Amino acid sequence: MQTHFSPAQLEEPDIREADGILRKCVHCGFCLATCPTYVLLGDELDSPRGRIYLVKDMLERGAKAPPTAVKHLDRCLTCLACMTTCPSGVDYMRLADIARARIALDVRRPWPERLLRALLALVLPRPGLFRLALIAARWARPFKALLPGRLKVMAAMAPARLPAPSAVDRPQVFAAEGQRRHRVALMNGCAQQVLRPSINEATVRLLTRLGCEVVVAEGAGCCGALAHHIGDAAGAEAAARANVAAWEKTIAAGTLDAIVINASGCGTTVKDYAFLLRHDPAWAARGARIAGLARDVSEWVAGLGLAGAKLAPAPTVVYQAACSLQHGQKVSEAPKRLLAEAGFTVREPTESHLCCGSAGVYNILEPVLAAGLKERKIERLAATGARIVATGNIGCLAHLQGASPQGASPIPVVHTVELLDWATGGPVPAGLS
């Protein structure tokens, strides 16, 4: 793609980065068939190619982003399926990040939109506040018909029950069972602590069973993805710096072999910390060191191997590949291979490359499109005849299993690590008989 940035514009690092990305696009259109919003809407502007044109025009003009660009970029799930498909290596993720940061600076959204985004940025990264918000939303559910717009959707999504907080999520060290093979840090996330603390519990059991000492670091928290999704660059960078500092202290206390992450949306963000912190070279270098240690739990366990899987006969599982794992981190085979090694019969749905509609806070900000994708995904998962849905991301799990006008998945949805823990001696995951 030909670009027309002035020499003065190209002095700005983000414009220079965007220029290099834009020039790789050859207009081939391979991305269209793998883009969820294009599949649903059939609008060229709701495809990666269309959005690339909008971003190019917006950045070249250097003016305030037009409403059309804001609308269609807001509709993008950032599922990154287009990057898996692109034969030219267009880094759409970073281009979208640059465009959204520019929109956040230039565009003053209507006050209800600003209020909602500020509320999400405040509440979701803080487990205590998030728990209180879900309790309040649960009490509001009987009155959801009276609530405006997205508040109605948020009230409907609130789970009927919340699990109690887990002791696993406090800063501490879990000793390896038997001889210690590795020392790892566990990122215990933010929303996951509230919605499904059993995922972190299963992860600790599995890792210690496989000979890992597991450290939950003091000061580590939200990865920054939630702020990043809504264009809050300052909030995302602050979260990244806090995690980098916390894990550096863990490294200083002893050799650290990996930072294990069991929410793939967080993993994609942590692995990109060098870019997220690019505006400060010192922090970017520190972020790169941390990013180099980040591993999805399926990546890490695949390297260790499953010892003594006992589950037989194991149920049939359909694997729901989270976009952030298969497209963002390019980890696609390890989870399926581990499930098969544990004794499960593993199936895949048709359109496994398409997003389920969760995408961080997308299901709150774009509830109609998210609901359409959820309905489509549930139909294809159910068509496999499997008894369990396995996924590697809390967002997919909560979205597919959660209440909505389209209903919840008729098949229980669990995290892959919960199944691996069960197969190697852990308890039956919640929701499975």
Q: Name residue 182's beta-bridge partners.
A: 212
Sequence ranges of the domains in the chain: 7-106, 167-301, 306-423
Q: So what's the pLDDT on residue 148?
A: 62
Q: What is the pTM of this model?
A: 0.91
pLDDT for the residue numbered 228: 85
pLDDT at 147: 65
- For residue 312, the model assigns a pLDDT of 77
Print pLDDT tens along the chain (433 aa).
Answer: 899 999 999 999 999 999 999 999 999 989 999 999 999 999 999 999 999 999 999 999 988 889 999 999 999 999 999 999 999 999 999 999 899 888 988 888 898 888 888 888 888 889 999 999 888 877 766 666 666 666 666 767 777 788 899 999 999 999 999 999 999 999 998 999 999 999 999 999 999 999 999 999 999 999 999 888 887 888 899 999 999 999 999 999 988 999 999 999 999 999 999 999 998 999 999 999 999 999 999 999 999 988 777 777 888 999 999 999 999 999 999 999 999 999 999 999 999 999 999 988 898 899 899 999 999 999 999 999 999 999 999 999 999 987 554 456 788 999 999 999 999 999 999 888 6
Sign of CA dihedral 404, 405, 406, 412: positive
CATH superfamily of 7-106: Alpha-helical ferredoxin (1.10.1060.10)
User: How is domain 306-423 classified at the architecture level of CATH?
Assistant: 3-Layer(aba) Sandwich (3.40)
